[in-house]
Copies of this chain bind each other. A is one copy, B any other.
Amino acid sequence: MSSDLEAFFNPSSVAVAGASSSAMKLGNITLANLMRFDYGGKVFAIHPRAGEIMGVPAYPSLCEVGESVDVAVGVLPRELMLDFALDCADAGVRNIIVCAAGYSDAGPEGAEMQRQLGEVVRSRGMRMMGPNSVGTISTESGFVTSLMSLEPIAPGPISIVAQTGLFAGGFALWMSSTQLFGLCKVACLGNKADVDEVDVLAYLEGDGHTGIIAMYSEGVSRGREFREIASRVSRSKPIVMLKGGRTDLGMSMAASHTGSLAGEDAVYRGAMAQAGVIVVEGIDGLFDSAKALAYCPLPAGPNLGVVSITGAGTVLAADACYRRGLFLPPPSQKASEEAHAGLPDWASLSNPMDIWTATLQGSVEDGYRGILKAFAGQEDMHILLVVFTLVPESEFDGAELLDEIKATHPDKPVLACFLGASEIDRKRWFRSLEERRIPVYDSIERSIDAAWALATYAAYIRGEGRRSP
């Protein structure tokens, strides 16, 4: 295999310990996920007595499988894990995912057990994900070892690296039931006794399926190595990062009011910016930015053209751009002349533009089209944001229109924002726009945050350094 992490995502064979033939244990969920995602490799169960579990052949130990096993998944109580790891080592299994919790996350006794587990892994030349990992997901191979019952997710370019299991759990279900952007891989690192962010970044750099890397981290232990590898990887694949624990509030409120924390956060942001890592706020920000980077071309600069059917949309967009350090250039002479035919005599083109004046001369669709064409043709409007409010009175095929704009200006990101809609109209418009790779957001601020991520990454790639938030 090309990397010693490959078997965590694309193994030819897997053994799962912790499933039962008589009860629904966590290991059974892992087996069910492998089936539900149509994993094409060989699957074995490890069980002291059962000969078969859920149609999968079971063996008392790895050594008795009699075939090569690429990766073993231990969904066992921590008391049984060390023996399981030794069995894996004896059988020549090089990769092990330890889903058991109760290690460094659980007092000194657990920490000692984690140390022992790490020693076995290192001394026998294995690689371990975890302990306290909720598992991995790889949509292209259907290899899914999550401890939570998932549903198939559309393959896509976004890979996620996180200590938390959220992305192999609740958010995986959110993606499969509501999102179109598609997922590539999830690595839940857990306690990081062996494999950490640095290892996974290096792996994803060489992974042909991964286009964008989204990370949630509460602290990178190998800081220097992380910055080095992130600087390299981010040249070819954007890295979006949500950092938890930036204020260090944690347990004690009192200690946090020293004022030193904001400084630390600034240092961290500076280091990440130098490495080309795009630092976002909140899990929403993580997905919003990753989606924009997945769908859109990189803009040639940080300037937006904003077209809105509501005046409030233009005002809130201007506020959000100002806060993010993005610019709204005035319309050029040429753009103004182009848009003129669609406007009443007394009206003039502005940026952001409230299209209601344009709808006085024609339909809502014509209003959007005239202004959007003028903005798209203006060279220094690098990103277009189109704000809709979905009421029956302004119904038209917005996706078709934006697709038309994209086709004539394939170099410009086009983002859409909905300010208010019935549930059914929102779903319909969301699907038709996102199927055409136009990212949709439900607030002006989130749209502008996503535009900022695009502009920031584009500036890094052009070598201008990163725009401050």
A residues with CB within 8 A of B: 29, 101-102, 105-110, 147-149, 151, 162-167, 169-174, 176-178, 216, 218, 244-247, 249-253, 256, 261, 281-284, 310-312, 315-316, 318-319, 321-323, 327-330, 344, 346-347, 350-351, 356-357, 360, 389-393, 418-426, 442-445
The answer to whether A177 and B422 have CB atoms under 8 Å apart is yes
B residues near A106, Cβ cutoff 8 Å: 344, 346-347, 357
What number of copies of this chain does the assembly contain? 2
The answer to whether B316 and A173 have CB atoms under 8 Å apart is no
Partner of A166, one of B174, B176, B389: B389
The answer to whether B218 and A249 have CB atoms under 8 Å apart is no
The answer to whether A244 and B312 have CB atoms under 8 Å apart is yes
Contact status of A318 and B245, CB under 8 A, knowing A346-B107, A346-B109, A392-B149: yes
B residues near A281, Cβ cutoff 8 Å: 445
Task: Closest B residue to A304 by CB, please name it.
Answer: B253
Q: List 23 A-B contacts (CB under 8 A).
A: A102-B360, A106-B346, A148-B393, A149-B391, A164-B310, A165-B310, A166-B312, A166-B420, A167-B420, A169-B391, A173-B422, A174-B421, A174-B423, A174-B426, A244-B312, A245-B315, A245-B318, A246-B319, A247-B322, A249-B321, A253-B330, A283-B419, A283-B444
Determine the distance from Cα of A423 to Cα of B424 in the docked complex, in whole angstroms.
Answer: 14
B residues near A251, Cβ cutoff 8 Å: 328, 330, 350-351
The answer to whether A252 and B169 have CB atoms under 8 Å apart is no
The answer to whether B420 and A169 have CB atoms under 8 Å apart is yes
Task: Closest B residue to A176 by CB, please name it.
Answer: B422
Interface majority SS on A: helix, strand, loop or mixed? mixed
The answer to whether A319 and B392 have CB atoms under 8 Å apart is no
B residues near A319, Cβ cutoff 8 Å: 244-247, 249
Determine the distance from Cα of A256 to Cα of B250 in the docked complex, in whole angstroms.
Answer: 38
B residues near A323, Cβ cutoff 8 Å: 247
Which 4 A/B pairs are nearest by Cβ-Cβ distance?
A: A170-B420, A107-B346, A170-B389, A247-B322
- Residue of A165, A170, A176 with most partner-chain B CB within 10 A: A170
Contact status of A393 and B149, CB under 8 A, knowing A310-B164, A310-B165: yes
Determine the distance from Cα of A261 to Cα of B318 in the docked complex, in whole angstroms.
Answer: 13
The answer to whether A173 and B420 have CB atoms under 8 Å apart is yes
Determine the distance from Cα of A218 to Cα of B389 in the docked complex, in whole angstroms.
Answer: 19
Partner of A107, one of B347, B392, B444: B347
Determine the distance from Cα of A2 to Cα of B159 in the docked complex, in whole angstroms.
Answer: 61
B residues near A360, Cβ cutoff 8 Å: 102
Partner of A108, one of B167, B252, B261, B346: B346
Given A29-B393, A164-B312, A174-B422, output 11 extra A-B contacts at Cβ < 8 Å.
Answer: A105-B311, A106-B346, A107-B344, A148-B393, A162-B312, A169-B389, A170-B390, A177-B423, A177-B424, A249-B321, A281-B445
